[in-house]
Amino acid sequence: MSTTRTITIECLRYHPEHDTEPHYQSYEVPFTDEMSVLEGLQYIKDHLDGSLSFRWSCRMAICGSCGCMINDEPSLSCQSFLRDFYPAGLRIDPLTHFPIMRDLVIDQTDFLEKLESVKPYIIPAQARQIEDGPYTQTPQQIEDFLGYAQCINCLLCYSACPQYGLNNEFTGPGALALLHRYNADSRDGGKDQRMEVINAEEGVWGCTLVGYCSEVCPKHVEPARAINQNKVASATDYFLRFLGPLGRRS
């Protein structure tokens, strides 16, 4: 059995009902080598301070709910382990660049509106009937979009993005990666509808290609690569406009 040790977890606290500004509170948490940071937060809530608020759901890096800043790095708390921060301890903050609702809980409204704007669903190029049967795809056609389909909307990339921190009008890495996921899908015909988002001032050209978004992504989605590919698509779309309808069809 693993040896039980004690680690200091410092959490940002903010209750808008009675706090004028955020502050930190420290907790001494017993842990074993198998315990994640999320389990440390759950220990605090269950045994030390029931008023601590944070999001979580699956505990298996699938839902993306438990994203936070751990020692100033965007991380999934279920994928981070207390043993890696012993003996120095750790500080947990809510994800940066988002309004704080309470403690470690952020307001995700801005991201959800941006996600809706990219139409993250299949838009068929032509109407299909049930009798037409299912779509078929080659292994290569699946490979073209599969990596980008792994996004779990954890928002770590938004906290890693300096451009979004400077200008929250920027559509952002996560939404643009999902935009590319559908544009790259052979079953989809909605590229022209999404081109308005791509070409907008707050679209792909707002990205300065720092690349930190791809580094912190727990699913290796590589949003920076998706954005770079869509810069090519945007430039191509711009020049094809000069060729008229013939160029647009090509």
The pLDDT tens digits for 152-203 are: 999 999 999 999 999 999 999 999 999 999 999 999 999 999 999 999 999 9
pLDDT band for 248, please (50, 70, 90 cuts).
low
Find where tokens 């580094």 sit: 215
pTM (2 decimals)?
0.92
Q: Which of the pair, 85 or 241, is modelled with greater confidence?
A: 85
Taking all residues of the chain, what is their mean pLDDT, rounded to a whole number? Answer: 94
The predicted model gives 47-74 an average pLDDT of 97
Structural domain boundaries in the chain: 5-106, 109-249
**Arch. (CATH architecture) of 109-249:** Orthogonal Bundle (1.10)
The predicted model gives 130-147 an average pLDDT of 94
Tell me which CATH code domain 5-106 carries: 3.10.20.30
